[in-house]
Structures are given as structure tokens and as C-alpha cells.
Amino acid sequence: MLVLVAPGQGAQTPGFLTPWLELPGAADRVAGWSDAIGLDLAHYGTKADADEIRDTAVAQPLLVAAGLLAAAELTTKVGPGAFGAAAGHSVGEITAAAYAGVLSDADALSFVRTRGLAMAEAAATTATGMAAVLGGDQDVVVAHLEKLGLTPANVNGAGQIVAAGTMEQIAALEAEKPEGSMKVVALKVAGAFHTHHMAPAVAGLEKAAAALSPADPALTYVSNKDGQVVTTGADVVARLVGQVANPVRWDLCMETFAALGVTGIVELSPGGTLTGLAKRALKGVPSVALKTPDDLDKAAALVSEHAV
């Protein structure tokens, strides 16, 4: 089974959307999305600097738009039905939900716009952030984070756990990393996502979710809440709402990929983070990250060779 995955916040880099907008029809599609959600996606994806696209209210719609654009181009190359499963990391779950047919592209972008604004507002109340802990035993790392008052917000597997909390707590972690870990790396995000600090954003998302008419997934949809396969659109949307204030368990998603018999993984733009984790946790499973349109042929070759 081939799995399509979509990255979360922090994967964005200045100008990453530029080559995608050069594809036929892409600029018009993005312009339409921009008008619909009131955000100039083309500007932020091509001309904005790192600080501008670090803004949660900008980064989240930008990432989903880039993922949808890359998914459409990939489908043109390999045809519909090439992938048997889809999953997303954090905000990437919205991209995955659209690819799986749960949400339309328009609904996905409207929902993520609400999500980004609500989470940015929640993040503004307290100075918070996130940092990746690389290496170390998972139980030891989690216990150390909890001692410092931090939340293991992303348990990513492959020796990576992302801590989230106040900036003071992050500073304490940088000064005293967990026993056995190699290093602590601050992330390019503007808040303690997937923790109780994001609880104020949930109410707004519940209201936005009530306006959606989700369909059941057209392929296997793996939730980052617990790595479980979700079979109804209503459950997918409920999980999209709740995940903003709860940890991401990407380690369990990868365990589910293995149990499903994954034969290859393609990561949507701006790819690299999730395929990097897969190379360490799912050894021997081929993968392609769609960093630019030049990678589409590599992805098509992987699909041709490893589809089951």
C-alpha cells in the first residue's frame, strides 16, 4: 500500500511555493483560494520572509494550499486511486482529509483559515513555543518534560519528541536536556500547539466544523491522534477540531503504516520532514518528498514500481 502524507507547521521556508506557481493553471487556482479566504497565498509563498510565514495565521493556510496544489499535480501524473492511505501531521491532517475526499478544497482552506486565526489568537495570550528533543529513551524524555512542566506535543518516533510550553519552560529544557538525548532544537512556530495553551481555539473550530458537510474517506485515513484508521467523515472532522489542543502521535501513525503493509511513501509539499522520520522508523520503505515540481517524476516512478 502506498501512503500519501502531508507535513505540519514548521516545514515552510521562504519562497517554497514559487516553482509550483509556474505550473499551468496553478497561479489562477491559488489566486482563487486567496480571494476566498482573504489571504494572499501567492505573496506569502513567494516573497514573504521567514518571520512573516512563521505567523500561525499565515503558515497554516499556506501549507494546506501548497499541499493541495502538489496533490493535484501528483494526481495528474499518477491518476486517482494510486494511494491506499493518507495521513497528515498536525495541520497536514486537513490536507490529508481533502485528499481523502472528506472535505472539498474550498472547505479545507476555509477551515484552516479559521484554525490559523484561532490558534494565533490563543498563542498571543502567553509567550509559548516548541522545541524538538532529538535522541534519548522515549519514557525518559517524556518524564523529563513533565518535570519541567512541558507537554510532549508531538511524539514523532525515530527518536524525536517535540516539547511545548512557555518560553521559560523551553529555556529550561535547552539548559537541561533529557538524559541520553543528543540536542534540543527550537522550532519555527509561534506557540505551544497541541497543548492546553490552545484550548481557547477549540470553540471557534467547533463552530466552523458545524458548517461543514464531510463525506466518509474514500481511502484509508490514519488519524494522528492515536494512529487509528478513521472511517467516517464526522469522526475525521471531530478529530481535526480536538487535535489543536492534544498531542500528535506520528509514531503511532507510522506503526499503522507498517501494519497496513506500506510499500512506499510520498510527502506533499513542502516535503522532507515526514520522509526523514520514515527513513529512520520504517527502514527499507522507499519514499519521495515533493519539495519542488521536479520531484513529481520521482514520485510517479515510485508509484509505478511499488503500487500494490
Catalytic positions, written as ranges: 90, 194
For residue 111, with 0-12 CB atoms within 10 Å meaning exposed, 13-18 middle and 19 or more buried, which class applies? buried
∠ CA 259-261-264, nearest 5°, is: 125
Q: What is the DSSP letter of 84?
A: S
The closest of 13, 165, 189 to 90, measured between CA atoms, is 189
The closest of 274, 282, 296 to 9, measured between CA atoms, is 274
The closest of 183, 177, 217, 188 to 87, measured between CA atoms, is 217
Which cell numbers hold the place of 18?
514559487
Looking from the CA of 208 toward its CB, the CA atoms found within 13 Å total 22
Helices (H), the chain: 18-21, 26-37, 41-46, 50-54, 56-78, 92-99, 105-123, 138-147, 167-175, 199-210, 233-242, 250-260, 273-281, 296-306
